[in-house]
A and B are shown apart, each in its own frame.
Chain A
Amino acid sequence: MAGIGAEIVAAPPRRRDGGEQEQQRRRLSGLGERDLAALALSAVSAFAIAWLFLTVVLGNSSWVETAILTYPLFLATYWFVSREMDGPLLAGDRVMAALVASAAIAMAVPLLLIMTYLVYKGLAGLTPHFFTQTQQYVGPLSPATAGGASQAIVGTLEMVGLAVVMSVPLGFICAVFLNEIGGPLRRPVRIFVDAMSGVPTILAGLFIYAVWVINFGFSGFAAALAISISMLPIVTRTSEEMLRLVPQGLREASLAMGASEWRTTWNVVMPTARSGLITAIILGVARAVGETAPLIMTAFGNTLMNANPFSGAQAGLPLYIYSQIRESSAANIQDRAWAGALVLMLVVLGLFATARLTSRLSGRAAYARAAEAAVTPTMPSGGNDE
């Protein structure tokens, strides 16, 4: 306690030469050299102790165990070091800051690991004919590079395309209702949209199976129906957020000029939010492309090309990956799955980057809101909620 108190009391600027010289500007935030040194040395010593204990004393260590032991040791060391330097009050604050920051860094680790592993495993099976051939002449012993997944790529494109055609207009209509019309039904509809976004995608598949497939058989269209059920709430939420960003003054100006409500929405609100609405579509598509579970019970999968989404079983890229992984643990078959996974990931990343670019047009804030709305229920923070 004495340490910190003393430091604050001793704070008045020291003036050399009777205050003639300018005083040095104090840094209020950020880490100084002293803090960085304390951090780094605590980390090194914690690692050294953990390594010594696990490798020398116990004689066996994997990097997981070392990391798990290092971390608490690091926090403890850092606390002791900070306490020696600045007293217990600041030490507690520093340790919490380190804990919070390391959690944030930990978020980035799986992303990097997944990406690098996908590239490392997927590149081998990725050949030009992956995009042009099917699995027609591929047997269990064929090498990983034999044939391709063009039937799955075509299937996914068609399913997602059909799903977009169905879910995007509906999502926009819902969003317009929530943001422009409102009324007593707004609250319940919001809750339904939230509830719908929580429906597991496999149940969307089961539902479409029960309604459609039992009567009309497996088809890409049935898959598109299931995908649009899981896409609808994402598009609705995201585009609602985007419509909220349209300034109220524009609407009022339009209405004051004598435009009717639907004219105002169609000719003023929607064009103003255009790039945001495009972001909403892209985020919905990014989610839809990776949908696997509903495809099992709607599209069923196919090793041959079926370009007609309205009849017969169709392949989809996620389903292709899943069935290859499931089929066998043989390396040649699994490498095909990894190639497919790499393509899928690249598609998702491409869509993601496009969403970012289009929403740049409507500002960073808009993008942040869109990405947020795709995963979270809308908060009562916007302008005209209730």
Chain B
Amino acid sequence: MGTITAAEAVAAEPRREVRTTRTRGDRAYRLLTTGGGLLTLVILVLIGLFLLLRALPALRVNGLSFFTTKYWNPDGTGHHSGVLAVAYGTVEIAVIALILAVPVSLLSALYLTQYAPERARGLLTTVVDLLAAIPSLIYGIWAFFVLQPHLLGLSAWLAAHLGFIPIFSAPSIGPFASSPFIVGVMVALMLLPTATSVMREVFAQAPVGEKEAALALGASRWRMIRTVVLPFGKAGIVGGSMLAMGRAMGESISVAIIINAVFTTSPHILQSGGNSIGALIADRFSDATAQYGLPALMAAGLVLFGMTLLVNTAASLIVRSARSGKGVEI
């Protein structure tokens, strides 16, 4: 027979090449926007590069001992200073803040996504957004004048009754003001909105089908959360906490307001005195000498830059890898 099917007809025809020719305007548009996107990378690299450049004199003076020295004395004899104590303090404060903030944000994220009635949800979301909008300076002065006096009693109580645990012991029994613990509580307040909204976003994507299946099998609400929502949101919990940690390490002014600057790697968090890299820079910048003081601060800044970059990038990669509810069959 002479008839051919449509498929054969298509096969017989030579395949046409589809080519996109963009107008000059579009090429410029693509170039411009791609350039804009890459500018973020350029800025990041420049920040690292310039900090390194300005830090070089201090790094030369101190060598590798910059990372093992506790004291900060760039203008003294020998011009030695080191980042160990402040880096320790930065991590210490961030960890205290995380331990306090993560459980509360985890639970409130669960409340927002799994428990809250419609109206409460709107109200609480506003509260979370407002908390995120308060400048950290205001957290700092509020914590210094209002929160701290109320926490002193708690610190004393912890030291007296739980002092057998090393971190709660206070060898000289006070003073308890301006301690890493109090700073940690304040930073925890700042972290709450950040951690809550990351976790909330992940929990909200928990697959409805699996949740309903759990409930239909007779699970109570908490059982359902434990078996479906929490395993699903694991990446969000870890990523959100790390993101909050990155933010905590970068706090400067608010920490500087409260902390009693002492260069130590003491494990006693209730005891007055501690420091962080951000607080050190905020505190010492104005009287730093151009020849020795500033390069040392720049070197400390470089260390902070590396620390936050590492934590934040890891965090955002983890949050992004969170299993998306989109492809789940119901």
Contact = CB atoms under 8 A, between A and B. Distances in A.
Contacts of A210: 50-51, 53-54, 298
B135 A348 contact: yes
Contacts, number: 308
B111 A202 contact: no
A337 to B, nearest CB: 7
Chain A, interface size category, equals 35 or more
A380 B320 contact: yes
B79 interface: no
Interface in B38-85: 38-41, 43-44, 46-47, 50-51, 53-54
Given A261-B30, A376-B319, A199 B47 contact: yes
A202 B107 contact: no
Contacts of A333: none
Interface of B: 22-23, 25-26, 28-30, 32-34, 36-41, 43-44, 46-47, 50-51, 53-54, 103-104, 106-108, 110-112, 114-117, 120, 124-125, 127-139, 141-142, 144-146, 150-151, 153-154, 157, 189, 192-194, 196-198, 201-202, 205, 220-223, 225, 240, 243, 246-247, 249-253, 257, 278, 281-282, 285-286, 297-298, 301, 304-305, 308-309, 311-313, 315-317, 319-320, 322, 324-326
Contact of B127 (A63, A102, A111): A111
30 contacts: A93-B220, A100-B111, A100-B114, A100-B115, A110-B189, A113-B142, A118-B142, A174-B33, A176-B33, A177-B34, A178-B37, A181-B37, A188-B41, A189-B37, A191-B316, A191-B317, A198-B313, A200-B308, A206-B297, A210-B50, A260-B23, A287-B133, A293-B282, A318-B137, A325-B144, A338-B141, A341-B138, A344-B135, A371-B129, A377-B243
Contact of B305 (A176, A199, A372): A199
Interface string A171-202: 00110111011010110111111111111111
A63 B150 CA distance: 9
Contact of B43 (A62, A63, A196, A198): A196
Interface in A21-73: 30, 62-65, 68
A107 B141 CA distance: 19
Given A198-B246, A290-B137, A185 B34 contact: yes
A371 B122 CA distance: 13
A375 interface: yes
A383 B239 CA distance: 22
Given A93-B222, A195-B313, A345 B138 contact: yes
Interface string A346-386: 00110110000000000000001001101111111100000
A291 B249 CA distance: 16
Q: Which of A63, A92, A100 has the most CB of B within 10 A?
A: A100
Contacts of A10: none
Contacts of B131: 107, 110-111
Given A199-B309, A372-B201, A290 B138 contact: yes
A80 interface: no
A30 B132 CA distance: 30
A91 B298 CA distance: 56
A92 B220 contact: yes
Contact of B324 (A117, A260, A374, A380): A380
A207 interface: yes
A297 interface: yes
A229 B43 contact: yes
Interface in A137-196: 170, 173-174, 176-178, 180-181, 183, 185-186, 188-196
A277 interface: no
A207 B135 contact: no
**Which A-B residue pairs are the 10 nearest by beta carbons?**
A290-B135, A200-B250, A198-B312, A173-B36, A103-B107, A262-B29, A194-B316, A177-B37, A104-B111, A93-B220
